[in-house]
A and B are shown apart, each in its own frame.
Chain A
Amino acid sequence: MGAVNSIQDRNSSSSFLKENRVTLLEVLDRALTKGVVISGDIVISLADVDLIYVGLKLLVSSVETMERLRGAPMSGNREEPT
């Protein structure tokens, strides 16, 4: 296998454009949604999708923190904190 290749006629410009588009989308699919993700105060830009992820994580940790403070898992009967 060599460089970008297609069984179709390479002179067909629309085929060439489609190849480029498909290749681009392959790149985007990886670089935009995969790879190492660093979030936090020291990062000054985040793809917006990570805000949801970070938001959900905060939600999960808040629940866990609340459980810890209350001294019991949040289900069933529980002691009210005094």
Chain B
Amino acid sequence: MSKIVETNAIDAFFEETEKLQKALPKKIDANPQNVEAGLAKLVLTLIELIRKLMEKQAMRRVEAGSLSEEEIERIGETLMKLENKMKELKGVFGVKDEELNINLGPLGDLM
């Protein structure tokens, strides 16, 4: 039986798969001159992951109603500072948000 690819919306899939193509394996540049930039991206991606996890965890606690007004206040300020710090770091290394995602092969995408 030969291969079949059938769709009722070729335009929509063309658009989406073009987006997905950007998500296909990206290379970590091993070129010595670019190694630092590559490493910066890797480190920032990991920090961003942790930051997002912390935010999500905080939101879960807000949802559960297990935080006092004071705690909400403190968490809000901390998360705000973290977000601003990350924006700063991204600026320093010239890294855009879309770049902070890498495909870990069998582990899927990081974000």
Q: How far is the CB of B88 from chain A (nearest CB, A)?
A: 26
Cα A24 to Cα B53 in complex, Å, equals 35
Q: Give a binary string over B6-19; 1 marks a CB under 8 Å from any A CB, 0 the rest.
A: 11101101100110
Contacts of B28 in A (CB 8 A): 48, 51-52
Can you give 26 A-B contacts (C-beta < 8 A)?
A3-B2, A4-B3, A5-B6, A6-B7, A6-B10, A18-B10, A19-B5, A19-B10, A22-B7, A22-B10, A22-B13, A22-B14, A23-B3, A23-B5, A32-B24, A33-B24, A33-B25, A37-B106, A47-B105, A48-B25, A48-B30, A49-B27, A49-B103, A49-B105, A50-B105, A53-B104
Docked pose: A51 CA to B25 CA in angstroms: 11
Tell me the bound Cα distance from A58 to B26 in angstroms: 20
Interface size grouping (class) on chain A: 20 to 34
Majority DSSP secondary structure for residues of A touching B: helix
Q: Spell out A's residues near B (CB within 8 Å).
A: 1-8, 15, 18-19, 21-23, 25-26, 28-29, 32-33, 37, 47-53, 56
Contact (A53, B24) CB under 8 Å given A1-B6, A3-B2, A22-B17: no
Q: Which residues of B contact A (CB under 8 A)?
A: 2-8, 10-11, 13-14, 17-18, 20-21, 24-28, 30, 102-107
Which A-B residue pairs are the 4 nearest by beta carbons?
A: A49-B25, A53-B105, A48-B27, A25-B17
5 additional contacts (CB under 8 A) given A25-B20, A28-B24, A49-B25: A3-B4, A6-B10, A21-B17, A37-B105, A56-B104
Determine the chain B residues whose CB is within 8 A of the CB of A8 once the complex forms. Answer: 10
Question: How many angstroms between the C-alpha atoms of A52 and B25 in the bound complex?
Answer: 11
